[in-house]
Chain A
Amino acid sequence: DTGVSQNPRHKITKRGQNVTFRCDPISEHNRLYWYRQTLGQGPEFLTYFQNEAQLEKSRLLSDRFSAERPKGSFSTLEIQRTEQGDSAMYLCASSEEGQGFATFGSGTRLTVV
């Protein structure tokens, strides 16, 4: 197991386009989280899954954002009609239930031009 894997590492897209990111968590971890980090800020929570169930979504997650974890393994985060304000590092993390801390992936850096 090589840890939490995210693809792609970088994505440049034109404003208005849709983008999708993938996260593969550590295999035995049943919880998966998405965070967004902008320059000079700490990661901000977006949403999390326990197995395939999406248990919480932040108010930051507008209706242009959708996340899925269809089989309780990998997850995707889709952003529709991207805006320049969506430019950020999107971080995925995973943990075992009750573990308390999360292990982060390398992130996907999104640039909207």
Chain B
Amino acid sequence: QKEVEQNSGPLSVPEGAIASLNCTYSDRVSQSFFWYRQYSGKSPELIMSIYSNGDKEDGRFTAQLNKASQYVSLLIRDSQPSDSATYLCAVKRGGDKLIFGTGTRLQVFP
């Protein structure tokens, strides 16, 4: 079992829809979770961090954390074609190193 698992996709949604991206993790002691966005050929950029159970909203993005079920999700409201990218879920380990999932490729079509 991988430490961080994501569906590789692609997830295709129409412009204006809500995109829902999911991630599960295996280590129950994990405390810090991150979503990075990576455009093709580019490096990952941080879009959300979440540390407590529940929802955290930032603009069109909402991160959701459920530690009991060991899953993290990212919702993107009013999806735009510019949101088309790979979304990487990451879990922090000791020393602040990050363990990444394989990423979910999102395609937003006009």
Contacts and interface: CB of A to CB of B under 8 A. Distances in A.
A and B pair up: yes
Interface of A: 31, 33, 40-45, 48, 50, 55-56, 91, 95, 97-107
Contacts of B97: 33, 45, 48, 56
Interface in B22-53: 32, 34, 36, 42-46, 49, 51
Given A40-B8, A42-B88, A102 B96 contact: yes
A70 B8 CA distance: 39
Interface of B: 4, 8, 32, 34, 36, 42-46, 49, 51, 88, 90, 92, 94-103
28 contacts: A31-B95, A33-B96, A33-B98, A40-B8, A40-B102, A42-B4, A42-B102, A42-B103, A43-B44, A43-B88, A48-B95, A48-B97, A55-B95, A56-B94, A56-B97, A95-B96, A98-B96, A99-B96, A100-B51, A100-B92, A101-B46, A101-B49, A103-B46, A104-B36, A104-B43, A104-B44, A105-B43, A106-B42
